Structure 1
Amino acid sequence: MASVLNVTKSKASERTIVVGGLPVDLLSARSLVLLVKSYFQDIKNEGGEVEDVIYPTRTKGIAYVIFKEKKVAENVIGQKKHQLAGQVGGAPFQVSRFGVEVFSSVKATLDLSVFRSQVVLESLVMNLKKNIPTLSFSTLKHNGRISVEGSFLDIKKLKESLLLKARCLLDKTRNCTTEERKWNRPSPQRNLQKNPKSLESFRTLVPEAARSREMLVLDTDVFLYLKHKCAFYERTLNKFHIRSQEREEGGITTICLKPVCSQPNETKRVKEFIEKHSCALHLTLRKETFILEGKENREKRTLNQACEQLSWRYPKVLINFYRTHIDIIGSSSDTYLFKKEVMKLIGQKVT
């Protein structure tokens, strides 16, 4: 079976598509490969002969399908909707052109319990599914939590949608007259006051900066690179006297920009400036990962030391050390060469 790296280095990339949002929890990897292959070989789906299906991959729910002909890949990408039949009952999924962008899929856990006193959560989830059909939602749990998976841009759209809804509900509560409260059901604001934890969650969900359009939602890897490898980020905040507050959750970082002594329009300009650069980074950054889980302590130390040893030679590469893995983020060529040299140092082949 071909690897993603081999596809990247060959002309096969022109015949390859990325399949996202696959129902990985419903089928085994083998069954899913057979189902995906069968789907894309069906001429009713504008398919054709499939050379290979690469799955599982590093990203959950993502597979790579290589066709014999470039034209077939283009035809499949041109289709607006894709649904798997059979064992998964018409489960929708997404198709895009092949690329080695690591930020193609994000998984996040949402806590919708903060809305419980204002709306029926099941209805809220149904509306979210309708508005952003490319996202994959898990079953809503009794505690109000739900998992969602999809592209970073779709997750960003979802979070902004929830923030807007929270803002509208809060404004509606504040503008509610005494007469309305008398005849309507108990005030959501009163319910929140009875539960300080819910009130705090509600405030966290709608920070002051978000109400003033001073909030950014970025992929966490993009944000970390922006913060630690792009000097203009801190320099711009200092220049315009703006303070930033960041919160990371589910692979997404929410940044709230708050003016210290600057005008609101300057804060907005800074937001647009950061968004512009983060979008450029989103398209150019790549990530390689060294898995530490399951390795002996000696192997972990060797990998850590190799990465630290090479860091000075690759100043534009961001190295993030975690307990279970090490992430290498940078340009496509830098990350590939960095990983190759690390493997050489520890006496292994690049995979």
Structure 2
Amino acid sequence: FSSVTSVLNMSVFKDRFVLEDLIQELKKKSAALSFGPLQSNGHVTVQGSFPAIILLRDFLLLKAKSLSEKNKREESESRSRPTRRLQQHRLTTETSNFVRDADRQKQVVVLDTDVYLYMKYFFPNAFVVNGDVLISDITDGDVTTVCVESAGSRSDAGQVLRVKEKIEKQSIKLHNALRKERIYFEERIRDEKRRYKSVCESLKPRYPCVLVIPYDTHTDVIGKPSEIFEFTKELNK
């Protein structure tokens, strides 16, 4: 997990920014990332660590949200001034929505799926919460989004944030320490597949900190590099 590659679509900013200048700003803010050339369609390739990519994504999402809100304000100002009654109704509605949102605090953590699976297996306490906090997850390929939210009490805001930070802190440690090896079975005959799966199971007690995830066509082995090396060496004997 030393490096991942992502493609950013910067075209959403072209009406408000000079894209070349915006990318220069991103390079200064994200010195640990490597940026490719800006394409004519507004796409740019970025390479670096997963946490750094996520920080860049969050920065761009905030910038896009700010831009959207600014556009809405300008659109509102260009319209004719509403009557006082409409203004009062709108203020009441917005205040009501704010209270409902405040009653349900929510935090989101985006994780590498392999890190998430390793955490769930070896560090389940990171996801253990009381009845006032709910945790859900959505996996989309290599990325798993974990949602931490309150069960309704406004007093849970601090607890929701603490749970989110605990998950985030543990995931960053693991992201920098883990490695994955994928062992393919597709081209092997049935007996070989059965033998590989059997050997994987027999090696588990000797490598208690290695996570073995079997699939029909392959097996993923996740752990520290030194242990993965020894595990795969034993497997291929």
Does TM, scored on the shorter chain, surpass 0.5? yes
Query: Which deviates more, 149-158 or 317-326?
Result: 317-326
Corresponding residue for 1:214?
107
Q: Which residue of 2 aligns with 1:192?
A: none
Q: After superposition, what is the alpha-carbon deviation per residue over 1:146-165, rounded to whole angstroms, capped at 9, x for unaligned? A: 32111233223212211221
Alpha-carbon distance, 1:239 to partner = 4.3
Question: Aligned-pair distance for 1:266?
Answer: 1.6
| 1:165 maps to 2:63 | yes
1:307 to 200, 207, 218: 200
> Could you tell me which residue of structure 1 aligns to residue 96 of structure 2?
none
Which position in structure 2 is the counterpart of 1:105? 3
Give the 3 Å change call, closer, same or farther, for CA 132–333 of structure 1 in structure 2: closer
Structure-2 change in CA distance of 1:151 and 1:127 (3 Å): same
Q: Percent identity?
A: 40
| Residue 287 in structure 1 maps to residue 185 in structure 2 | no
Match of 1:138 in 2: 36
Q: Note closer, same or farther for the CA distance 1:341–1:143 as it changes in structure 2 (3 Å cut).
A: same
1:154 aligns with 2:52: yes
Count of aligned pairs between the two proteins: 212
2:133 aligns with 241
AA paired with 2:161?
Answer: K
Query: Helix, strand or coil: the match of 1:176?
Result: helix
1: CA distance, partners of 2:204 / 2:3: 27
Q: Determine the C-alpha separation between the residues in 1 that align with 2:24 and 2:79.
A: 28
Match of 2:160 among 249, 267, 277: 267
TM-score (norm 2): 0.68
CA pair 272-338 structure 1, distance change in 2 beyond 3 A:
same
Q: Check 1:264–1:157 CA distance in 2 against 1; reply closer, same or farther (3 A cut).
A: same
Q: How does the TM-score come out when normalised to structure 1?
A: 0.49
Cα deviation code 1:280-305 (max 9, x no counterpart): 3334x332414428844555554344
Aligned amino acid, residue 109 of structure 2: L
Structure-2 residue corresponding to 1:232: 125
For residues 115 and 266 of structure 1, the distance between their equivalents in structure 2, rounded to whole angstroms, comes to 35
Tell me the equivalent position of 1:257.
148
Is 1:318–1:328's contact at 8 Å kept on the other side of the alignment? yes
Q: Could you say if the C-alpha distance between residues 138 and 214 of structure 1 is closer, same or farther in structure 2, counting changes exceeding 3 Å?
A: same
Q: What residue in structure 2 maps to residue 125 of structure 1?
A: 23
Q: How many Å apart are 1:225 and its aligned residue?
A: 0.9
The structure, 1 or 2, with the larger RCO (C-alpha pairs under 8 Å, 6+ apart) is 2
Q: Residues 100-134 of structure 1: CA distance to partner in whole angstroms, max 9, x if unpaired? A: xxx32122233444445554544433332233233
Task: Decide whether aligned partners of structure 1 residues 167 and 109 sit closer, same or farther in structure 2, where only a CA change above 3 A counts.
Answer: same
Q: How far apart are 1:316 and its partner, in Å?
A: 3.2
> What is the match of residue 328 of structure 1?
221
| Superposition RMSD in Å | 3.6
Distance 1:258 1:152 in 2: 24
